Amino acid sequence: MTAAPAILGRPHALALCAALPLMAPLSASGQRALLPKSSAQGVTELADQCGTAAPALGVPCRELALAAMAVQQGVGLAGSLGSDIPGTPSTVGRRLGRVPRISFSLSALGVRTGMPRVAGQSAEELREQQSFSLLGLRAGAAAGVLDGFRLMPNLGGVLSLDLVASYSYVGLPPDAGFQGSSHGFGAGARIGLVRESFVLPGVSLSATRRWHGDVRVGSIENGDPAEVATELTVSSLRATAGKNWFVVGVLAGAGWDRYEGDARIALDPGSGSPASADRRVRSDRLLYFGAAWFSFLISQLSVEVGIAEGVDDPFSDRRTAFDPAQRRWFASAAFRVTL
């Protein structure tokens, strides 16, 4: 839980989360004006460093740097998804006295994403875009720590608190050049603003941090013209609001993700002496999601769909196929048990 202060250090992102329930009446253009802008850092510097080593390969170096960012975003989105606790906008709370409720969930997930073609026959194929799906599983757990305050009969759970943890497995397609799969662990907290009641929706905020193992794409040693290797840490903020009607319910949410890690790219110009570069790459983006669920006493089935914003192209004069500003879709289906 040492990462929580770093995440909470973004006051404008927390303001976004706190304001979400009040933003529903605004138009889409009005909402966008209030949100922090998606951005990327370190991508141009990584490309410049690669281009300095091989000036004739400036365009492929740019595409490789963008591929490193795209890999972080695709794997990071698959591990974080939308809601931290599937199928509920509220904290799980306590049972009796000081006994916490505990919730366990298992989600099947899918993300549609893309990147420049790293594993091809030549460096020229980096100009092409390769689209693919990432499929995987996420296991999650949540425990109610604080029940919060009850201000009136239908207004409770104010400043309640859950601790959340997760493990994710993401299968990475070998046809796209990925070397192996990705595993990630996460920890964080969900704060309840209002617990769902007969007349009021549930509203909560959450902050989490996830750590993934190194992700590798392409291998010069195995005959690919280029390769990318990157670490990955994901910081996430989420705001959710929703309501349950007997056995069915719906929620809507918005969030902010930061993907970051040391990235290394290498490019073989055909001379037997690959050009390489390494630098820390970071990107931020917003996402929006909705979910519906069906409850069976202590268990629940839920479905979630969402969309993640793209990032403005850091290279204004690019004329290649991959578009980093393109939005990416994600979806999951979850089974959850609360004890």
Q: How confident is the model at residue 12, as a pLDDT?
A: 35
Give me the chain's average pLDDT, please: 88
Pairwise CA distance, residues 107 & 331, whole Å: 10
Q: How confident is the model at residue 38, as a pLDDT?
A: 79
More confident residue, 35 or 175: 175
More confident residue, 170 or 23: 170
Asked: is 4-338 a CATH 3.40.50 domain? The reply is no
Q: How confident is the model at residue 55, as a pLDDT?
A: 75
With CA atoms as reference, report the closest residue to 162 among 250, 88, 236: 88
Is the predicted pLDDT of residue 326 greater than 90, yes or no?
A: yes
CB 210 within 8 A of CB 186: yes
More confident residue, 98 or 145: 145
Pairwise CA distance, residues 92 & 204, whole Å: 11
Q: What is the pTM of this model?
A: 0.88
With CA atoms as reference, report the closest residue to 88 among 260, 317, 337: 337
The residue to which tokens 């889409």 are assigned: 28
Q: Residue 299 belongs to what H/E stretch? A: strand 299-308
Arithmetic mean of pLDDT, 139-143: 98
- At 27, the pLDDT band (50, 70, 90 cuts) reads very low
Arithmetic mean of pLDDT, 18-25: 37
Establish how many alpha carbons lie within 13 A of residue 92's alpha carbon, considering only the half-sphere containing its beta carbon: 27
More confident residue, 31 or 172: 172
pLDDT digits (tens, 9 = 90+) for 270-307: 766 788 999 999 999 999 999 999 999 899 999 999 99
CB 60 within 8 A of CB 51: no
58-80 vs 43-53: helix axis angle to the nearest 10? 150
With b meaning 16 or more CB within 10 Å and e meaning fewer, what string describes 201-215? bbbbbbbbbbbbeeb
Q: How confident is the model at residue 34, as a pLDDT?
A: 45
Is the predicted pLDDT of residue 206 greater than 90, yes or no?
A: yes
Burial environment of residue 33 by CB neighbours within 10 A (0 to 12, 13 to 18, 19 or more): exposed
